[in-house]
Structure 1
């Protein structure tokens, strides 16, 4: 009862607390409305495993808008479609398998990866999560995503799902992880690293050599982007995750436990950590290593990763239904 009272006091003060801010402009893809309509169709045709209530809630989440805001400079909706698929299907899949076991999540991951990499080229016989991932690969082939970038995209996608598997240990036992474990897992489960590679399909970035994408400075920028988005997601979803047992992978909860401090103090420390990551991101962008003739292009690529971060945050602040009381979708996978 005491904890409930404390949480209610925190909710009252939450609106007055500072929020993340980014020095990057906010854009949205011109075909975002058409992509929304396709997203609704995916839910109606592929997500028949979900209850009608869950499907209607997912429509209100506008998950495809994350892709439209994160990569607003893709030339066509054909190029946007695989990213919107990964985003919406990945998020809805995460909801559906919310309370499955670590072992089950690894089996699911292996099945998905065989489909998106082409290791298993056979179209799934039934519509659903796996069929939609098979469609993702077909759409990527149609719009001629360079194979080396697609491989980086799918490899990082696997790391997201591995993160989903590892966090199940904490969800199923209603355990808050140590900070070091949280950061390791959250860097992947934010789902951002596939976005960092997909940003390279915009403008002329696909011409950058692998030495750029694989450079430690650039990989650190990917990590910082992942952590910033993971943290701002935690800040926005905090009211929901304080009210549900098992939602333990939230930085504010982690810091409250680790530092033995109040919720408000933990919130402030979470935002401070986020802002430190943002400062490091900007420092790295300003002091990029020498990339010869690609120098200006690399700087612009990093800038568009920043625009991706701001775009994802804009989705979080514009489409808030997913994190409102009663707006989230409970896991329906039979455990």
Structure 2
């Protein structure tokens, strides 16, 4: 008999960083939402579904102590990443490559007017870069540009896999997921005001600590987004699907495997904080602040996933309590999505859960 429920363990029960939220999140999120809507990236129906995702809440949970300016930068960045996600999830690799080239040109040349007739993502990226990058230190900007480029290149690789039907191993998937989940460039506001030199930022220890946080973002996200993704035919790039396919296990077996992986990664990060190498007093203080900032992210992703409407609609708080989620039937697959015709799914409008 086909499985009818997703059982979600509370994998964040022992994470030392509690849920915290920025006190100005509603006010600043409203400003960011107005900015986003000025580009009209979606149809009214899809914009409504996008609004339900509440990406302002995501940023406010990630950066509860940020300045107002940094919070706005963070919310706009979250909106950008998820618009990119919606625009590229169903496109073929050549079209995704064009979007990526456009975004890279915009982020590196924010003073350059965008060509007439170009998809609005180019102008969104240009405006964000022109307004937000000058507020960051040169070191932080350099780190962001590298991680953002790596992210976009991984999005192209995902589109190539989708087009060719390539099947990645668990290890290969985890490596590319570190880049294409957008987690690494999303850490940019954590260091926006810091001047961490490259030789420290890319030190093997610091990279490993970053990898722990980004991999935890993957495990949490792929567990909590699985129902939406399997219903909308986008779960090929979900760790639960990859584990089921490679290990020949069912959904509960894959869940147990991913939970064990998650706890091992979390333990490495927490233990790693007790063994931070020294790079000198000034840099050490900045690095400690950075590591504490990025440690908010796993809790942020977990809390937002239940509190916003992207994955569970209006029932997120209920599912957070019961840990039992009815599996949605798969929606009708439409491979014609492109640019402004992209459809953002509202959970309540997907197929009804399978009967008990």
Which bracket does the TM-score occupy, shorter chain normalised? 0.7 to 0.9
Picking from 314, 332, 335, the partner of 2:337 is 332
Picking from 116, 130, 137, the partner of 2:107 is 116
Q: Across the two proteins, how many residue pairs are aligned to each other?
A: 320
- For structure 1, the residue ranges without an aligned partner over 5 or more in a row are none
Q: Equivalents in 2 of 1:214, 1:87: separation in Å?
A: 24
* Correspondences of 1:71-220 after superposition (within 5 Å): 71-76=63-68, 78-118=69-109, 121-123=112-114, 125=116, 128-141=120-133, 144-172=135-163, 176-201=167-192, 206-220=194-208
Q: Equivalents in 2 of 1:287, 1:313: separation in Å?
A: 27
Name 2:49's counterpart in structure 1.
Answer: 57
Name 1:313's counterpart in structure 2.
Answer: 302
Name 2:2's counterpart in structure 1.
Answer: 6
Task: Normalising by structure 2, report the TM-score.
Answer: 0.81
Q: Equivalents in 1 of 2:201, 2:298: separation in Å?
A: 18
> Which is richer in helix?
1
Matched-pair contact (CA < 8 Å) for 2:11–2:263: no
| 1:101-142 superposed Cα distances (whole Å, 9 cap, x missing partner) | 222222211111111122772245568221111111121155
Name 2:275's counterpart in structure 1.
Answer: 287
Task: Normalising by structure 1, report the TM-score.
Answer: 0.86
- For structure 2, the residue ranges without an aligned partner over 5 or more in a row are 314-327, 342-356
Q: Equivalents in 1 of 2:133, 2:249: separation in Å?
A: 51
Matched-pair contact (CA < 8 Å) for 1:43–1:59: no
Picking from 231, 244, 267, the partner of 2:232 is 244
Change (3 A) 1:197 1:141: closer
Q: Equivalents in 2 of 1:133, 1:237: separation in Å?
A: 26
Name 1:23's counterpart in structure 2.
Answer: 16
Q: Equivalents in 2 of 1:80, 1:18: separation in Å?
A: 28
Change (3 A) 1:189 1:141: closer
1:174 Cα deviation after fit: 5.7
Q: Which structure has more RCO (C-alpha within 8 Å, separation ≥ 6)?
A: 2
Matched-pair contact (CA < 8 Å) for 2:59–2:71: yes
Question: Structure 1 residues 104-113 or 308-317, which shifts more?
Answer: 308-317
Q: Equivalents in 2 of 1:257, 1:32: separation in Å?
A: 40
